[in-house]
Amino acid sequence: MTYLGLLEIAIRIPGSDSLKAKRHVLRSLKDRIRGQFNVSFAEIDEMSIWQRADLAASAVAASQHRVEEILHRVLRIIENNPDVEVLESHIELF
C-alpha cells in the first residue's frame, strides 16, 4: 500500500524586503530540504506578500510511519531555519 502525507505551513520571512528576497529564501530552503528528502513543494498562497509564504510539502512512501517521519523532519528543518518564523503548520496523512 502507498501512503501520502501533506504538510501545510505558513511562514514569516522577517528579513525579506522584496519578492526577489522572498524567492531567494524559499528557494534555498526548498533546495536544502529536497537534497535530504524526496518531497515536493508548492507555494499555495500569499505569493505577492514579501514577508509571508504559505507552502505545501508532500511525501509518498510505503508506510504511514515513514511519511509522517519525513514530514515532521521537514517541519523541524524549517522551524530551525533562522531566516523564517513558522506561524502555523498542519500535517495530514492519506
CA 52 to chain centre: 13
CATH superfamily of 3-93: TT1725-like (3.30.70.1120)
Which pLDDT band holds residue 15 (cuts at 50, 70, 90)? very high
69 HSE (CA, 13 A, CB side): 8
Q: What is the pLDDT of residues 71-81, one digit of tens each?
A: 999 999 999 99
Joined together, the cell numbers standing for residue 69 give: 517521519
Which pLDDT band holds residue 13 (cuts at 50, 70, 90)? very high
Percent of the chain with pLDDT over 90: 96
